[in-house]
Chain A
């Protein structure tokens, strides 16, 4: 599998060399990255060396992405115009790619962990950064392909084989273009900021972009008039010629229908030239800067050593610690996670965009165009807002694992703890209470102010159910110690799929809550509070000790 993937680059050898990279070194670095991904997903303790390939994880991911692709295909299925069909698919793809780059692959583009090994080697010019981009490209292309494979088949049936094949080609162009746009953007930021600031700027930039995309997506969905979707045609303005989905669709239309007027020739030229030009410009002129800045980034990790710890042990912390933790192991783990989560860049980078998502959800629900304040007050839309918080708590359970403190597992193993479960209880409670709860409370106050105090029990119930869900999610995932794991490229698709599944679960829980409290009134609410409280007790006092044992931990960690 890895060999096949690598051989795909052979026809482009001349191009890679023109970019100032050494082709052999390029292939070797890529091979290394893929091998590492492959083995990482197969667990650390399996010491067999005969590589039986990426296989399972990728296959599972691909399957769920294809299912997602079916959903998109259903939406565009009946669209009559060829141009509109491809236009919509390209827009969806571009948004998805951009979001994936920002949420999942940024850490890989900015990865400096391999520098001690790769830097001392005589590597020609841009080889390393080109390989890094190619690595991300492979994953993105795979995801893009999975999502659109159903639509490609549909395009072949509807518009002929040529259109379908051209669509496939244009998808690859789209991925390339989006990836290199991201590069340009990141380079832009890197030009503006240096060293210490850079990390912070990149983080906030990520958050802003994530918000913009999610907002655009949500608002866009709201604005499409679903009744007209079938006959929709895209009217072209001068700026349309600058939009990649437009010229990619125009390119397909032109060749498959044999239309070669001025407009379509322009589309063809744009489609062929712009992605290539984008790659050329970035690798030739911008990546050297990128690399240099990346080295600074690593060094500035050193420079920050002098920054004082602000020792965030506040009154809030003391109260929370008393209420939520019991044994001293749990308290110690609680405090560790509380403090570390305040410092860890990777954690924040992964976590903050999800906060933004909830803000967008609130915004979308308030600013629907055909809505008045009164009708909103009579609706029960606050359920959507409350249960959108599930996404935050899910991000917490995975973000807490990320960090540059490799090989710190031994600390926990060497301590005389009866059950490791206490540590894990402490970890998740700390981040949940530090990052989730205050924000939830704030929004809860807003909800209560808008919909009236009678919804306060609902706010409490939602909090309890999300708390329980968070604990369960954290306890059933592979028990790894926090702030010590690298983000791997091959996991990018997994969490995306998980988020989709989670949306479904939170929808069910939210709907159940809505149903019971509207049917049974106050008794229903009391019932739910009691049920969830008991559930939390059960999870925290009994279940977790059965679930997280040293045997299980030892199979996922090495010391």
Chain B
């Protein structure tokens, strides 16, 4: 396996109008790893992922994905990316098969390959029987599964996941976790953005914690806990992002009702 970086971010800055959301992110990511990308709400996690996937074009800084410049070779990069967005936006009136056929054809995958892969992937999630039903009738978890399947259809080198487990039942969560580990073992890189600390803690080779658009911690869980002496990621997270008075706040919440 090459040790060349698969993602290389130098001084990434992003504004929404006047508001600065990313204050110079620097990252080097090696292939074959699962990267846990965590941070509080509004820290800039989704924005980073969207920039890396080519959803947001206007940013400052240098970004290289798969050794190619994101600005100039976006289309080539996209061929090897899989993206699972946070809020599963799907074409509701299509069926999963039709949706995957669309995505597959756009990626110039052959017709019979699409069909067999779609069936195989959906079968893993025990959704093969739903292949020809309208997505509009699906639950959130089912939609999320369709999303995951369609993002993996072309066997991407680099997979971006934005809160991929939201809405999934316990069995599916375990399944996805296992799947991620397998993918990483095959040399795929997974960039995993999430709030679920325990999942991140268990599967990530490397954890990157950002807050207010800056990287504030970076390393394997062992590295981080050695530095900080926290027994789990949740504690570390709350300490670094500066919210320690949860008890008081919860109490205030109750008080608000009693007024």
Residues of A within 8 A of B (CB): 24-25, 28-29, 32, 35-36, 39-40, 44, 47, 49, 113, 115-125, 195-196, 292, 295-296, 299-300, 302-304, 306, 558
CA distance A304 to B19 in the complex (A): 10
CA distance A559 to B98 in the complex (A): 22
**B138 CB → nearest A CB, Å:** 11
Contact, CB under 8 Å: A120 / B106: no
**A102 CB → nearest B CB, Å:** 27
Q: Which residues of A contact B79 (CB under 8 A)?
A: 122
Contact, CB under 8 Å: B19 / A121: no
B184 in the interface (beta carbon within 8 A): no
Query: A36-B94, A47-B137, A558-B136 known; A116 and B89 CB under 8 Å?
Result: yes
Contact, CB under 8 Å: A49 / B134: yes
Q: Which residues of B43-65 have CB atoms within 8 Å of chain A's CB atoms?
A: 53-58
CA distance A35 to B135 in the complex (A): 14
Contact, CB under 8 Å: B78 / A295: no
CA distance A25 to B107 in the complex (A): 8
Q: Which residues of A contact B134 (CB under 8 A)?
A: 47, 49
Q: Which of A49, A117, A119, A295 touches B133 (beta carbons < 8 Å)?
A: A49
Given contacts A118-B106, A124-B75, 8 further A-B contacts (CB under 8 A): A32-B91, A49-B95, A116-B55, A120-B55, A120-B81, A122-B78, A195-B17, A304-B17
CA distance A195 to B76 in the complex (A): 28
Q: Which residues of A contact B105 (CB under 8 A)?
A: 24-25, 28
Q: Which of B58, B76, B107, B137 touches A295 (beta carbons < 8 Å)?
A: B58
Query: A44-B136, A122-B76 known; A24 and B18 CB under 8 Å?
Result: no
Q: Which of A28, A40, A49, A117 touches B90 (beta carbons < 8 Å)?
A: A117
Q: Which of B77, B91, B106 touches A36 (beta carbons < 8 Å)?
A: B91
CA distance A82 to B67 in the complex (A): 64
CA distance A118 to B99 in the complex (A): 12
Contact, CB under 8 Å: A120 / B107: no
Q: Which 7 A-B pairs have the closest CB atoms?
A: A303-B17, A39-B93, A122-B78, A120-B83, A122-B79, A303-B16, A116-B89
B92 in the interface (beta carbon within 8 A): yes
CA distance A40 to B18 in the complex (A): 38
Query: A24-B108, A302-B16 known; A121 and B78 CB under 8 Å?
Result: yes
Q: Which residues of B78-133 have CB atoms within 8 Å of chain A's CB atoms?
A: 78-79, 81, 83, 85, 89-95, 98, 102-103, 105-108, 132-133
Q: Which residues of A contact B102 (CB under 8 A)?
A: 28, 32
Query: A32-B102, A35-B94 known; A120 and B53 CB under 8 Å?
Result: yes
Question: Of A116, A122, A125, which is in contact with the most chain B CB atoms at under 10 Å from its CB?
Answer: A122
Contact, CB under 8 Å: A44 / B93: yes
**A432 CB → nearest B CB, Å:** 31
Q: Which residues of A contact B58 (CB under 8 A)?
A: 292, 295-296, 299
**B157 CB → nearest A CB, Å:** 13
Contact, CB under 8 Å: A25 / B95: no
Q: Which residues of B contact A306 (CB under 8 A)?
A: 17-19
> Could you jot down 25 A-B contacts, CB within 8 Å?
A24-B105, A28-B102, A29-B106, A32-B94, A35-B94, A36-B94, A44-B92, A44-B136, A47-B133, A47-B136, A49-B95, A113-B89, A115-B55, A116-B55, A116-B85, A119-B55, A120-B55, A120-B83, A122-B76, A122-B106, A122-B107, A295-B57, A299-B56, A306-B17, A306-B18
